[in-house]
Amino acid sequence: MSKRIAIFASGSGSNAENIYHFFKRNPQVEVVLIITNNSTAKVIERANRLKIPCKVIDKEIFYNSNQVVEWIKADAVDLIVLAGFLWLIPSYLIAAFPNKIINIHPALLPKYGGKGMYGNKVHEAVIVNREKESGITIHYVNEKYDEGNIIFQAKCEITLNDNSETLANKIHELEYKHFPQVIESLLL
């Protein structure tokens, strides 16, 4: 029986699509569900195009009901992957799936993590602070933003010519290369 992934995303879904394509060639792993908290997110279009069931949730459902747990259990999900999902994961969800929820962060944690540190905000802070390197961190999710145990990190150099946009491109390359491989290593 194949391993099953649910992806939570709030934005464009480029990492979700990359994960889908990585595992499309592998009969042992499949993306079975995408959940988003943004009814206008581009990830919905991607899910529809890729024929992956997609559910849109609001804060009431997410924080005050058991609906998400029911969906995930109904789909027999083995791993929940946060790929640009901006809401804090509630403790009931973490308790229902211990060490089965992972996140990718666009910096080398513990630096540049926490509430409000996502996407371009991270890259801008890294550039302003004249860091020599940045990267990605894949970690388990706990009740606090970006504080779960680190699974994997990959680094890239920051040059004097880099700005937040060029750094974002370097980070995306690391995400696309490493995130599916780390997911695979956790599942197989």
Task: Please state, in angstroms and rounded to a whole number, the distance separating the CA atoms of residues 92 and 48.
Answer: 29
Per the CB < 8 A criterion, the answer to whether 134 and 168 are in contact is no
Q: Residue 123 has which token pair?
A: 């890259």
Output b/e per residue, 150-173; b: 16+ Cβ within 10 A. ebbbbebebeeebebeebbebbee
Active site residue 105: yes
55, containing H or E segment: strand 54-56
Which residues sit opposite 6 in a β-bridge? Answer: 33, 80
Task: Please state, in angstroms and rounded to a whole number, the distance separating the CA atoms of residues 186 and 76.
Answer: 16
Per the CB < 8 A criterion, the answer to whether 62 and 38 are in contact is no
Task: Please state, in angstroms and rounded to a whole number, the distance separating the CA atoms of residues 157 and 169.
Answer: 12
- Of 21, 105, 139, 178, the active-site residue reads 105
Catalytic residues: 105
